[in-house]
Amino acid sequence: MSQTNETTGGCRIGADIGGTFTDIVMIADDGSVFETAKVLTTPARPDDAVLEGVSSLAERRTGKAIDHIVHGTTLFTNALIERKGARTALIATRGFRDAIEIGREHRYDMYDLYMRRPEPLAPRYLRFEVDERIRADGSVLTPLDEASVEAVIGQLRAENVEAVGVCLLHAFTNPAHEQRIGEMLRAAMPEVAVTLASELVPEIREYDRSSTVLANVYVQKLAADYLGRLRSRLAALPHCAHAELLIMQSNGGLCEVETASRFPIRLVESGPAAGALAAAHYGQLLETPQLLSFDMGGTTAKACLIVDGEPLISPDFEVDRQYQFKKGSGLPVKVPVIEMIEIGTGGGSIARLDTLDRLQAGPASAGAVPGPACYARGGRMPTVTDADLLLGYLAPDFFLGGGMALDTDAARDAIEREIARPRGIDVIEAAWSIHQLANENMASAARIHAVERGKEISAFPLFAFGGAGPVHALGVGRILRSKRVIYPLAAGVMSAIGFLTAPIAFDFVRSRPSPLDATDWNDVMMLMTQMERDGLEILATTTAPANIRFRRFADMRYRKQGYEIRVPVPDGTLDAKSASAILSAFEQTYAALYGHTVPATPVDIVSWRLIASGPKPDFVIPPVASDRRDALKGYRSIWLPERNRMEEVPIFDRYLLEAGRRLEGPAIIEERESTVVINSDAQLTVDSFGNVVADIEVST
Q: How far apart are CA 177 and CA 171, in angstroms?
A: 7
pLDDT at 237 over 70: yes
**Section 279-301 average pLDDT:** 90
Closest CA relative to residue 172, chosen from 511, 508, 515, 527: 511
pLDDT at 326 over 80: no
pLDDT more than 90, % of the chain: 61
For the chain, the average pLDDT equals 90
pLDDT at residue 262, as a whole number: 94
Angle (CA) 238-239-241 rounded to 5° is 80
pLDDT at 9 over 70: no
Q: CB under 8 Å, gap of 24 or more: what pairs does 521-527 form?
A: 521/574, 521/575, 521/576, 521/578, 524/574, 524/608, 525/573, 525/574, 527/608
Closest CA relative to residue 435, chosen from 638, 681, 651: 638
pLDDT at residue 192, as a whole number: 97
**Section 229-253 average pLDDT:** 91
Q: How far apart are CA 369 and CA 21, in angstroms?
A: 11
pLDDT at residue 130, as a whole number: 98
Q: Which of 319-323, 368-372, 576-580 has the highest mean pLDDT?
A: 576-580
Ranges of H-type helices in 452-568 = 469-480, 494-499, 521-539
pLDDT at 5 over 70: no
pLDDT tens-digit profile of 139-187?
999 999 999 999 999 999 999 999 999 999 999 999 999 999 999 999 9
Q: How confident is the model at residue 32 (pLDDT cuts 50, 70, 90)?
A: confident
Closest CA relative to residue 485, chosen from 623, 661, 678, 654: 678
pLDDT at residue 688, as a whole number: 86
**Section 18-26 average pLDDT:** 84
pLDDT at 692 over 50: yes
pLDDT at 546 over 70: yes
Give Cβ neighbours of residue 619 (< 8 Å, ≥ 6 apart): 27, 281, 497, 500, 501
For domain 2-79+224-267, the CATH superfamily is ATPase, nucleotide binding domain (3.30.420.40)
pLDDT at residue 485, as a whole number: 96
- DSSP result, 429-463: HHHHHHHHHHHHHHHHHHHHHHHTTT--GGGS-EE
More confident position, 299 or 694: 694
Q: Which CATH class is domain 87-218?
A: alpha beta
Ranges of H-type helices in 201-253 = 206-218, 220-235
Least confident interval from 138-147, 318-327, 452-461? 318-327
pLDDT at residue 1, as a whole number: 43
Q: How confident is the model at residue 299 (pLDDT cuts 50, 70, 90)?
A: confident
pLDDT at residue 4, as a whole number: 38
More confident position, 297 or 69: 69
**Section 447-467 average pLDDT:** 89
Q: How confident is the model at residue 563 (pLDDT cuts 50, 70, 90)?
A: confident
- DSSP result, 555-579: EEEETT-S--EEEEE-SS---GGGH
**Section 93-116 average pLDDT:** 85
Helix (H, G, I), strand (E, B) or coil at 337: strand
Q: Where are the domains of the chain?
A: 2-79+224-267, 87-218, 349-436, 508-613
pLDDT at 700 over 60: no
Neighbours of 358 (CB within 10 A): 10
- In degrees and rounded to multiples of 5, residue 519 shows phi and psi of -70, 140
Q: Taking a C-beta distance cutoff of 8 angstroms, is the pair 391, 432 a contact?
A: yes
Q: Taking a C-beta distance cutoff of 8 angstroms, is the pair 636, 392 a contact?
A: yes
**Section 602-626 average pLDDT:** 83
Q: How far apart are CA 575 and CA 578, in angstroms?
A: 5
Q: How far apart are CA 172 and CA 204, in angstroms?
A: 7
The length of the chain in residues reads 700
pLDDT at 3 over 50: no
pLDDT at 61 over 80: no
pLDDT at 193 over 80: yes
Q: How confident is the model at residue 626 (pLDDT cuts 50, 70, 90)?
A: low
Return the amino acid letter for 674. Answer: S
Whole-angstrom CA distances from 6 to 9, 61, 655 are: 10, 9, 21
pLDDT more than 70, % of the chain: 96
Task: Say how many CA atoms lie within 13 Å of 296 toward its Cβ.
Answer: 34
pLDDT at 486 over 90: yes
